[in-house]
């Protein structure tokens, strides 16, 4: 979904944009509400790199869009379906399975965040690594990359670092690099891409 700035501005002013799907419009409004929540959490010093914050943001990011939202896969009514990621000619990437109660994802999240907190002291590295961690593990049925980007930016802004926004012009490059990340689990290329997208990149 790509919307122009005038279309987004019109929608935020409360006017629907002709020719756009309702789901596109809802996604934009969800992202706006999620952004407001993130800024509120950061400004009040309440942002934490934890599950409660992660699912709180997802509750807004994927509202009325994902199969379920606001909790990990398996923690709700649906636990028979595991979403995968299409990788074009490279096939598909399948994350940890959805199991009743979501205990496997809960444990994976705990171990991942513990490792980031124990082993990664640099805020920029920690934030960007969390984005890739969330995108790879796919804790939710949908909205994983968007929610993980909010968490990344929460880490950055909480440490006085400007947020990272991926320009629409780089969307195809982003998708191509993410496919390679899903295939080889090597974060080097994606971390370099995120550095290049930072406002202070030279």
Domain ranges of the chain: 45-197
Task: Give the CATH number of domain 45-197.
Answer: 1.10.3290.10
Distance between CA 13 and CA 139 in Å, rounded?
33
Q: What is the pLDDT of residues 43-97, one digit of tens each?
A: 999 999 999 999 999 999 999 999 999 999 999 999 999 999 999 999 999 999 9
Handedness of CA 147, 152, 158, 162 (dihedral sign): negative
Per-residue pLDDT band at 7 (split at 50, 70, 90): low
Return the pLDDT at 200.
87
Q: What is the pLDDT of residues 86-138, one digit of tens each?
A: 999 999 999 999 999 999 999 999 999 999 999 999 999 999 999 999 999 99
């Amino acid at each position: 979904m790509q919307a122009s700035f005038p279309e987004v501005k019109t929608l935020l002013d409360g006017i629907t944009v002709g020719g756009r799907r309702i789901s596109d419009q809802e996604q934009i409004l969800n992202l706006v509400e999620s952004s407001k929540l993130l800024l509120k959490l950061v400004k009040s010093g309440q942002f934490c790199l934890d599950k409660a914050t992660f699912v709180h943001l997802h509750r807004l990011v994927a509202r009325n869009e994902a199969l379920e939202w606001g909790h990990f896969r398996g923690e709700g009514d649906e636990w028979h379906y595991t979403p995968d990621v299409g990788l074009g000619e490279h096939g598909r990437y399948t994350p940890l399975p959805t199991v009743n109660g979501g205990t496997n994802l809960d444990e994976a999240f705990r171990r991942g965040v513990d490792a980031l907190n124990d082993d990664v002291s640099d805020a920029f590295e920690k934030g960007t690594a969390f984005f890739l961690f969330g995108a790879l593990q796919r804790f939710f049925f949908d909205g994983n990359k968007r929610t993980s980007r909010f968490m990344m930016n929460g880490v950055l802004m909480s440490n006085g670092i400007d947020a990272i926004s991926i320009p629409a012009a780089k969307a195809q490059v982003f998708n191509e690099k993410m496919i390679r990340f899903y295939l080889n689990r090597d974060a080097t290329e994606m971390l370099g891409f995120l550095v290049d997208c930072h406002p202070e990149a030279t």
